[in-house]
Structure 1
Amino acid sequence: MRTSIATVCLSGGLVEKLHACAAAGFDGVEIMDSDLVAAYESPEEIRALCARLGLRIDLFQPFRDFEGVDELTLLENLRRARAKFEVMQRLGTNMMLLCSNVATATVAEPEVAAEQLGRLADLAAEYGISIAYEALAWGKYVSDYRDAWRIVELADRANLGICLDSFHVLSRGHDPSGIEAIEPDKLFFLQLADAPAFDMDVLSWSRHHRLFPGEGSFDLTGFLSHVLLAGYRGPLSLEVFNDTFRQTDVQRTAAHALRSLRWLSDRTAARNGWEDLQIAVPQPPRAFDFVEIAGEDLAPVEDLLNKLGFSFGGGHRSKPVRLWRAGDAHVILNEQHRAPGTRLAGVGFVVEDAAAAAKRALAIGAPPAFRRTYEGEYPLPAVSAPDGTGVYWNSQSAADSWLVEFQGGESPTAQGNLQGVIDHINLAYPWQEFDEAVLFNTSALALDAAPSADLPGPRGLVRSQVMRTADGAVRLAMNLAPPTAPLQPRHVAVRVSDAIATARQAKGRGLSFLPIPANYYDDLDARFGLDPELIADLRALDLLYDRDESGAFIHFYTPMIGDVFFEIVERVGDYDGYGAANAPVRLAVQRSDGQ
């Protein structure tokens, strides 16, 4: 698989973009005309730079508003084209993208368009250049790839073919299976982009809201399957117009982009049974292994866990690391990280094959994470998530692997010790990192994305996206706050069998919970008509409640320590949600409580 990316996907100047593409590992680039025009470097210098970086210039784009015009306009368009062909020769690239006419077309007949494209192709042939004709979704007369193919067939020039763009095909709801009817040697170029399912005009949708593969709603594996089955063997190239990516760090975005292509190629191979093209079999996690909290002073976290009912699991025999347990919920406190504050630094997962899971993540493009391991200690392969959080894999249970490395702890089953499992982890992201995190969780962790929801908060709407395994054993709830709001804290939710009893015991040990307003309980009573004793318990203990047709949800939150807090949850019946109706209350209280 050869990979390529349009320079429009990235922030910065052309030289900066090219260095980022090479550093990420792309094989080639599409150079946008506007990027070249704005560069101080000559086409010859850009050509030399690409050669030094090992980048092939796969495409020069775009050339616009050419066909379907009167003769005088056509002559002017041919003059424009000749000037660009001369620039392309200086750049050292031999393929131009021609978009279907949007602004100047006055003649709708395909035969006229074909005759005019033939004249353009003949002129391009003088320079050794090929033309890849693309049907824009908002083209005046040509907006369907099948109409573009008909025109190319009528023109009948060896150096005139088709450029297929997933956005222009899928945004209009066109059937991509017709791609397989196109002659393979006429499939000149392929551009890929995902997008969310918006109901808006297609031009604005395209110019501002495209996403990298795996981040949106398009069936890109199906689309790419048709293209490859049709016989296309050129590069897989990304053309993503997105306001976020044009503001984010260029190196990070380029690496993110390449991961998306590798994920798409791998998923397409798996869909079609092309085992030789697959990276590795996905390894969905079977359970959480542990969470790691890091900081300079973790004594307040230990005090909180102790009051919640966690048992002390001992200190690590070779590192300043301590373990706290609540049944199968393992919390590792790591004071090796000397960055200020307290934060969620790592997450461990139990999988069928840890080595295969890490191999797949590394092949997709996740950076390896270093974990110091001494002789006799259990190895946990790891990578870094895009935000720097460590991701660890384990093929064994904690009891059969790393748990013996902790010494001096108490029995986790002693009377009074909390018993539970990690139910979910809530992760917050700034606006510029959210889509990248979704792709990482899909590609590297093999989690599925549930439909997103918007939750009202004191600083605006919070977008919530849950990534999970099919059985719900592993759930990552991702929150995206409004751009002007501060980054929300992250929290670990531990599921227990009796949240009310857990709350009573924790209160008895002196733990204060997030204080819930009395108005909340008045509203709760009005909504559900709960038993007065239950309402009284909830009110007295600062517990929250939710219910649907499948069951109920009882939960409470601890105060924040640094950027971390804990949640205790109880799922009654088959309740599968997260108490979304209570999120606005939690967010408002945390803000008013100075947290």
Structure 2
Amino acid sequence: MRKSIATVSVSGTLPEKLRAVAAAGFDGFELFENDLVACPLSPEDIRDMAADLGLRVELYQPFRDFEAAPADRLADNLRRAEHKFRLMARLGADLLLVCSNVSPQAVDDDALAAGHLRLLAERAAEHGVRIAYEALAWGRHVDDYLRSWRIVRMADHPALGVCLDSFHILSKGTDPGGIEAIPGDKIFFLQLADAPRLTMDTLQWSRHYRCFPGQGDFDLTGFTRHVLAAGYRGPLSLEVFNDVFRRSDPAKTSSDAMLSLRFLENSVLGAGAPPDLTGFAHVELATGPDGDRLRRLVETLGFDRARLVDGGEAAELRAIGIQTPDPVAAAGHAAALSAPAEAPDGTRIDFRTAGPGRSTIDHVALTAPFAEASLWCRCVLGLRPHESLDLPDPYGLVRSRAMTSADGSVMLALNMADTASNVPWQHVAVACDDVVGMARRLMAAGEPPLRIPANYYDDLDARFPGAPDLRGTDVLYDRADDGEFLHLYTATIGRVFFEVVQRIGGYSGYGAANTPVRLAAQHGHKMRRE
């Protein structure tokens, strides 16, 4: 399947965008009108540049507020359209996106809308252009893809079809199964975007929070299967409005976009399944200048899954070994997606067969760009995302999301801070059967756990009747329907610290309610040392 992306999805000038999407391997692009208007190059220059880069102008967009407008607006609307048709000829584009009318003056009359669109299609055909009509989720009257298809069917012109946009359909909770009733040759274009589930105005949701397939909560695999089952054979095209992407490196954004489309294509076709992960094999830590201290801490923890490597400017997590029955196939899966072998924060992933004994690694936390890391974990490792959390830090917020394998044997926590002053550190969580006993051993070794204030334990008594008395241990506690959780944190060495966890019953969380206490304690410890 051809792969395309809207220029609005990538930051930079139009030439920068085109070079980035070409380098990422896209076949074509949707040219967003604002990008052209702000560009000093002529339409002919853009056409030639695209051709030199091996790109096709798949769609020119958007043309707004045309159909079912008051009668006195029709002539002016047709004049606007004629200008666009001439411009598209200069660009070498032959498909124009027409969004459903959002004007308060639009008339709620399907027959009138069909008549206007037929007239537009007739004019377009004279210029070798086709019209793709799209129902916006916030359209004044046409806000549903089935209604847009009904109007296109009424207009009955070969140069008029529909554009289907996953966001406009899935954000409204509309059943996409009806897509299969639309003839494939009347689906002129397909736009894809994922999004997190949010409760907010749909227009604002669309304009600021769309993301690439695999980064959000929509079932894009099922959606795309419906479109292909209808007979659509055009490109898979990404149209993503996102504030973060608008200020990110266009090359990196384009690379992530292509990764998301390859992953979606594999999911739709049932090919290239992610590896079967069975647990953690090891972590590799660079010691930095604190090698002796780090070795002493690892020895006190009894952490036999740590590999320490001398060097580096500071102690940090360098690599994670992940167990899988077929390491070669796991590495091949990543290579087939053209995905890097490192997590977005630079942590290397080593696939290994299962070693002797039960792994003592409970989970590992990475600091990385949130959307980018979520996509990488989902595509390369096949991890499932859990609900993201915004956790208060003394100097801002830390956004956190757990990503887990199907059986929970591999758990990664992704953390991203909103300001440079509260950058979260990497950490490795070590499983233990007696956290309180471990706290005593750490104290005796001169590496006491992170100091937890007495106020925390006063509040603990109020929140959890019957909770163990943990005063003086610096051990934190959480309880849920599935069990209990005790954990402590070591001081940070370089960029990394350890968490020691004890799970009782079937507790499957991470003690997220205690994270603000931990963050405050870490900042306090840092200030005392400085």
More divergent stretch after superposition (8-17 vs 139-148): 139-148
Q: Would the aligned equivalents of 1:307 and 1:509 in 2 still touch at CA under 8 Å?
A: no
Q: Secondary structure at the match of 2:265?
A: helix
Q: How much does 1:62 deviate?
A: 0.7
Q: How much does 1:298 deviate?
A: 4.5
In the alignment, structure 1 residue 547 sits paired with structure 2 residue 500 = no
Q: Secondary structure at the match of 2:371?
A: helix
Return the alpha-carbon distance in structure 2 between the equivalents of residues 567 and 230 of structure 1: 51
Return the alpha-carbon distance in structure 1 between the equivalents of residues 514 and 395 of structure 2: 16
Q: Which of 339, 342, 360 is the aligned partner of 1:366?
A: 339
Q: Which residue of 2 aligns with 1:449?
A: 385
Return the alpha-carbon distance in structure 1 between the equivalents of residues 197 and 465 of structure 2: 38
Return the alpha-carbon distance in structure 2 between the equivalents of residues 208 and 582 of structure 1: 30
Q: Which amino acid aligns with 1:86?
A: R
Return the alpha-carbon distance in structure 2 between the equivalents of residues 154 and 306 of structure 1: 72
Q: Which of 306, 314, 319 is the aligned partner of 1:331?
A: 306
Return the alpha-carbon distance in structure 2 between the equivalents of residues 447 and 63 of structure 1: 40
Return the alpha-carbon distance in structure 2 between the equivalents of residues 240 and 158 of structure 1: 29
Q: Which amino acid aligns with 1:211?
A: C
Q: Which residue of 2 aligns with 1:315?
A: none
Return the alpha-carbon distance in structure 1 between the equivalents of residues 148 and 476 of structure 2: 58
Q: Which residue of 1 aligns with 2:175?
A: 175
C-alpha spacing 1:301/1:268, structure 2 compared with 1 (3 Å): farther
In the alignment, structure 1 residue 17 sits paired with structure 2 residue 20 = no
Q: Which of 500, 504, 511 is the aligned partner of 1:572?
A: 504
Return the alpha-carbon distance in structure 2 between the equivalents of residues 392 and 297 of structure 1: 25
Q: Which residue of 2 aligns with 1:313?
A: none
Percent identity between matched residues is: 51
Q: Which of 343, 346, 350 is the aligned partner of 1:392?
A: 350
Q: How much does 1:261 deviate?
A: 1.0
Q: Would the aligned equivalents of 1:44 and 1:90 in 2 still touch at CA under 8 Å?
A: yes
Q: How much does 1:387 deviate?
A: 2.4
Q: Secondary structure at the match of 1:522?
A: helix
Structural mapping, 1:434-445, within 5 Å = 434-445=370-381
C-alpha spacing 1:286/1:168, structure 2 compared with 1 (3 Å): same
Return the alpha-carbon distance in structure 2 between the equivalents of residues 566 and 471 of structure 1: 24
After TM superposition, the score normalised by the length of structure 1 is 0.85
Return the alpha-carbon distance in structure 2 between the equivalents of residues 170 and 360 of structure 1: 29
Q: Which residue of 1 aligns with 2:318?
A: 345
Return the alpha-carbon distance in structure 2 between the equivalents of residues 356 and 47 of structure 1: 41
Q: How much does 1:356 deviate?
A: 1.4
Q: Secondary structure at the match of 1:288?
A: strand
Q: Which amino acid aligns with 1:335?
A: D
Q: Secondary structure at the match of 1:387?
A: coil
Return the alpha-carbon distance in structure 1 between the equivalents of residues 211 and 293 of structure 2: 39
More divergent stretch after superposition (153-162 vs 503-512): 503-512
Q: Which amino acid aligns with 1:572?
A: I
Unaligned runs of 5+ in 2: none
Q: Would the aligned equivalents of 1:384 and 1:391 in 2 still touch at CA under 8 Å?
A: yes
Return the alpha-carbon distance in structure 2 between the equivalents of residues 301 and 161 of structure 1: 68
After TM superposition, the score normalised by the length of structure 2 is 0.95
Off by >4 Å, runs of 4+ in structure 1: none
Q: Which residue of 2 aligns with 1:186?
A: 186
More divergent stretch after superposition (117-126 vs 30-39): 117-126
More divergent stretch after superposition (495-504 vs 183-192): 495-504
Q: Which amino acid aligns with 2:153?
A: E
Return the alpha-carbon distance in structure 1 between the equivalents of residues 105 and 326 of structure 2: 58
Q: How much does 1:218 deviate?
A: 1.2
Q: Which amino acid aligns with 1:587?
A: L
In the alignment, structure 1 residue 471 sits paired with structure 2 residue 410 = no
Q: Which residue of 2 aligns with 1:379?
A: none
Q: Which amino acid aligns with 1:503?
A: A
Return the alpha-carbon distance in structure 1 between the equivalents of residues 175 and 486 of structure 2: 47
Return the alpha-carbon distance in structure 2 between the equivalents of residues 306 and 265 of structure 1: 43
Q: Secondary structure at the match of 1:62?
A: strand
Return the alpha-carbon distance in structure 2 between the equivalents of residues 443 and 73 of structure 1: 48
Q: Secondary structure at the match of 1:554?
A: strand
Q: How much does 1:12 deviate?
A: 0.6
In the alignment, structure 1 residue 507 sits paired with structure 2 residue 446 = no
Q: Secondary structure at the match of 2:244?
A: coil
Root-mean-square deviation over aligned CA pairs: 1.9
C-alpha spacing 1:524/1:70, structure 2 compared with 1 (3 Å): closer
Q: Would the aligned equivalents of 2:400 and 2:415 in 1 still touch at CA under 8 Å?
A: yes
> What is the CA deviation profile of residues 40-83 of structure 1, one whole-angstrom value per residue up to 9, with x for unaligned ones?
11111111111111111101111111111233311111111111
Q: Which amino acid aligns with 2:342?
A: S
Q: Which residue of 2 aligns with 1:78?
A: 78
Q: How much does 1:305 deviate?
A: 2.7
Q: Which residue of 2 aligns with 1:421?
A: 360
In the alignment, structure 1 residue 141 sits paired with structure 2 residue 80 = no
Structural mapping, 1:239-278, within 5 Å = 239-270=239-270, 278=271
Q: How much does 1:522 deviate?
A: 2.4
C-alpha spacing 1:540/1:71, structure 2 compared with 1 (3 Å): closer
In the alignment, structure 1 residue 131 sits paired with structure 2 residue 123 = no
Q: Would the aligned equivalents of 1:298 and 1:333 in 2 still touch at CA under 8 Å?
A: no
Q: Would the aligned equivalents of 1:61 and 1:97 in 2 still touch at CA under 8 Å?
A: yes
Return the alpha-carbon distance in structure 2 between the equivalents of residues 62 and 13 of structure 1: 18
Q: How much does 1:295 deviate?
A: 5.0
Q: Would the aligned equivalents of 2:8 and 2:240 in 1 still touch at CA under 8 Å?
A: yes
Q: How much does 1:575 deviate?
A: 1.8
More divergent stretch after superposition (552-561 vs 238-247): 552-561
Q: Secondary structure at the match of 2:307?
A: strand
Return the alpha-carbon distance in structure 2 between the equivalents of residues 283 and 582 of structure 1: 33
Return the alpha-carbon distance in structure 2 between the equivalents of residues 168 and 549 of structure 1: 37
Q: Secondary structure at the match of 1:555?
A: strand
Return the alpha-carbon distance in structure 2 between the equivalents of residues 95 and 295 of structure 1: 57
